[in-house]
Amino acid sequence: MKKISFSNRIMIPKHTSRRAREWFEEHKINVLDWPAQSPDINVIEHLWGTRKKKLQAYKNPPKGVWELWERVAVEWGKITAEDCQKLIESMPRRIEAVIKAKGGQTKY
């Protein structure tokens, strides 16, 4: 498979400074044009979704915000480098799915 170099930075004019765009250009980082209404293919959203499922699996609901915070910290700490690597490696498939769906909904 051909390696693809990209950043998943959202390059929407109102969210991107000229300085940031110039920095990417100077460092030869290819950045995707990402329309504001495109499906969310940001892998961090998937990571948050897996943590949410872990939190919902607790037998009893948290007694308060501090207990919830502690649980979030515990579950976030269980994320492995392998988990992150799998998500990073999924990006080409995610992008292909969005292109195939012409910007519509995907399984991601």
pLDDT digits (tens, 9 = 90+) for 12-66: 554 568 888 888 889 888 876 665 555 567 788 888 889 999 999 999 999 999 9
Crossing angle of helices 65-77 and 43-56, rounded to 10°: 120
- Where exactly are the structural domains of the chain? 1-37, 39-108
pTM over 0.75: no
Residue 2 has a pLDDT of: 42
